[in-house]
């Protein structure tokens, strides 16, 4: 247990909740990409069995382990052939955007379910301290980490969705210039994540939005449901 405590960024006792949240969050994200690509006329993901909510088709073992160790990771990218779209750039933007938007939707719906459970006490489950604590922990991770995935994937660095959106929005000349820098993206990404001064002025302000968004979702549904 001491070894795991030092290895992962989460409390060991929270590991089952974190893994379950990752299963849900990564699967929904990649399914959204695959589903809309198929709807828009690209069967690549469907032929590979990716238009499914089966987590085993989407999870990347190393990416999941890295999330547990470093707090960020990835699932298996969904292959998309934009040439199959009738409008490659517009449809490409939608296919890229639905991934992070699906995580935002999971967080928003998760907040609703959590508030409903709080209001109606899950038929007395909240009276049981351990059950109540487990529910609190699960929904805190579910909402917060789906907001995290929403914000993280909007970062305009390849291969993240934010970059693909910028790439499809940019004029051809700028796209060619952007593509020349793709080979350096992993080094830029490592600087942003692991170098504190760079992180402080790049992704930290973005991630500082997580708590306010979490609270806004909770307060919104609490007001709608009439809790408190």
Cα separation of 82 and 70, whole Å?
33
CA dist 182 → 35, 103, 141, 189 (Å): 26, 25, 32, 11
Q: Secondary structure of the chain in the HEC alphabet?
A: CHHHHHHCCCCHHHHHHHHHHHHHHHHHHHHHHHHHHHHCCCCHHHHCCCCCCCHHHCCCHHHHHHHHHHCCCCCCCCCCCHHHCCCHHHHHHHHHHHHHHHHHHHHHHHHHHHHHHHHHHHHHHHHCHHHHHHHHHHHHHHHHHHHHHHHHCCCCCCCCHHHHHHHHHCCHHHHHHHHHCHHHHHHHHHHHHHCHHHHHHCHHHHHCCHHHHHHHHHHHHHHHHCCC
* Annotated active-site residue in 30, 83, 129, 182: 30
Cα–Cα nearest to 20, from 77, 68, 69: 68
Residue 30 a catalytic site member:
yes
CB of 155 closer than 8 Å to CB of 80: no
Residues marked active site are found at 30
């Amino acid at each position: 247990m001491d070894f795991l405590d030092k290895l992962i960024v989460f409390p060991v006792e929270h590991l089952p909740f974190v893994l379950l949240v990752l299963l849900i969050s990564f699967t929904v994200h990649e399914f959204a990409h695959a589903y809309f690509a198929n709807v828009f006329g690209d069967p690549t993901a469907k032929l590979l069995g990716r238009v499914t909510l089966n987590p085993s088709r989407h999870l990347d073992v190393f990416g999941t382990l890295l999330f547990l160790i470093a707090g960020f990771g990835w699932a298996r990218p969904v292959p998309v052939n934009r040439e199959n779209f009738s409008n490659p750039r517009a449809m490409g933007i939608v296919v890229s955007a639905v991934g992070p938007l699906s995580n935002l939707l999971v967080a928003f719906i998760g907040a609703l379910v959590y508030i409903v459970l709080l209001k109606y006490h899950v038929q007395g489950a909240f009276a049981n301290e351990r059950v109540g604590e487990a529910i609190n922990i699960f929904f805190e991770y579910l909402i917060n980490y789906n907001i995290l995935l929403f914000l993280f994937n909007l970062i305009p660095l390849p291969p993240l969705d934010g970059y693909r959106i910028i790439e499809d929005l940019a004029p051809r000349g700028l796209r060619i210039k952007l593509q020349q820098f793709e080979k350096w993206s992993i080094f830029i990404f490592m600087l942003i994540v692991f170098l504190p001064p760079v992180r402080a002025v790049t992704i930290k302000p973005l991630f500082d939005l997580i708590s306010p968004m979490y609270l806004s979702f909770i307060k919104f549904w609490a007001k709608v449901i009439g809790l408190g």
